[in-house]
Amino acid sequence: MSNQKELLWQSRFSQPFDREALKFSSSVHVDGLLYREDIQGSIAHATMLAEEGIISGEEAGQIVEGLRAVEQELESGALVPVWEDEDIHTVIENRLKELIGPAAGKLHSGRSRNDQVATDTRLYLRRNIDCLTGLIAGMQSTLLDKAERYSRTIMFGYTHLQRAQPMSAGHYYMAWHSMFGRDASRLSDLRKRANVSPLGAAAFAGSTLPLNTARSAELLGFEGVFSNSIDAVSDRDLVIEFISACATVMMHLSRFSEDVILWSSAEFNYLGISDAFATGSSIMPQKKNADIAELVRGKTGRVYGNLMNILTIMKGLPLSYNRDMQEDKPPLFDTAETTAQSLSIFRRMLENTWLNEERLARLTADDLSLATEIAEYLVRKQIPFRDAHRITGKIVAYAIEQDKSLPSIGLDEYRTFSEAFDEGIYDDLKPDASVNSKKTSGSCSFRSVEEQIARARASKK
């Protein structure tokens, strides 16, 4: 195909753009994803132009009808962009001109490629924020189901990857529910900033035409209009914020994946995973690998890389628009797709996991993780906590030396460490007693977890 297609910016040049330079600068293979947003923004712009008398109603009708035809061609594959088209905006405008003739040229009245791209990007961000928010809500729903199912199952809580204290397994799932709730909140907050129209800023200085920027914003569902035309076209903070918010989502998914990988190993054997979400080995027939969790953990690095990518692109750019900003699309699009796919598949995997309750019950009933209960028992006997901590540490050392569990140590043995011990210590040395003894708000007791679940479900109504 010839490279002699009309480029929208070429009117003052006497020589055609070098073919290799055009190929290097072409972005249609990336920004083709924006065709729906580009057509949506163009329809709103044409409608406003007609309402303000800048173009005729008939011309606007031809433009809108033509744009809808171009959209159908792109969706069906009848129109396939090629790199010679430079970008998706040129693809659409050139095809529109083929369909309706000279009226197509009036679509660009009062609009620059700069505010056009900025508008498309905000529409894309808004759509993907809504998509991710919905996926997070789905993840939270699954976590609530898990928390409810295992609200009275006791397992170990960990610090430093060492067994710490027994807790309700439901409490564990509600911790993830809280984390993803913050992710949704960050995206919701970002959506407010994204939902502002840049249309009318033109190249960077505004337009001499009597554009009704408020009307364009209204037609596109934006809640406001730019306050500064320079900032409107040069702002990529929203892209940075979006990728950053997604990086935090992926960090949470990666941490969750780490637990799934560890807990499904033979060494832990706390968690089972359906065969539908595990893989085997090409050489070791006995293997069952948590590959989906591993892939999610690995893809987190891609999103982190995208964040560093866009920060590096923007760090030295003078105001206002610079062509470097074309490179914001690959990290933005890859981040949106990777995060959405990761949330979706992780939720499906999570739905097909289960806790090995019998093993957890056996392990938590005979473990040193009840040591804190001994210290707090002594505190209730009016022994200062630091002293209680030292006494308990000696008891733990004794239990290890004698190869005894804490509940199997006799009362006479306990009293060699402190006269404060009586038969009541054995009431505290039960996993369910330990869990349910927690009094503070948001703690791991059965009652607290059930309250957390109830509040979370009520907030969704």
Query: How far from the centroid of its chain's Cα atoms is residue 127's Cα?
Result: 14
Say if strands 224-225 and 196-197 run parallel, antiparallel, or are unpaired.
Answer: parallel
Please identify which of the residues 14, 76, 160, 282 carries the catalytic annotation.
Answer: 160
> What's the half-sphere exposure (Cβ side, CA atoms, 13 Å) at 71?
16
Rounded to whole angstroms, how far apart are CA atoms 374 and 398? 14
Task: Give the whole-angstrom CA distance, residue 269 versus residue 360.
Answer: 9
CA distance 179 to 124: 25
The widest CA-to-CA distance across the chain, in whole angstroms, is 101
The one catalytic residue among 56, 185, 281, 408: 281
Question: Catalytic site residue 160?
Answer: yes
Would you list the DSSP string of 335-395? Answer: HHHHHHHHHHHHHHHHHTEEE-HHHHHHHHTTSGGGHHHHHHHHHHTT--HHHHHHHHHHH
**Active-site residue, 45 included:** no
Q: How many other CB atoms are there within 10 angstroms of residue 171's CB atom?
A: 24
Note if the bond before 320 is cis, omega within 30 degrees.
yes
Instruction: From residue 16, give the alpha-carbon distance in Å to each of 7, 9, 363.
Output: 9, 11, 76
105, with CB counted inside 10 A (0-12, 13-18, 19+), is middle
How far apart are the C-alpha atoms of 385 and 390, rounded to whole Å? Answer: 9
Residue with tokens 């992710």: 183
Which residues participate in catalysis according to the annotation?
160, 281
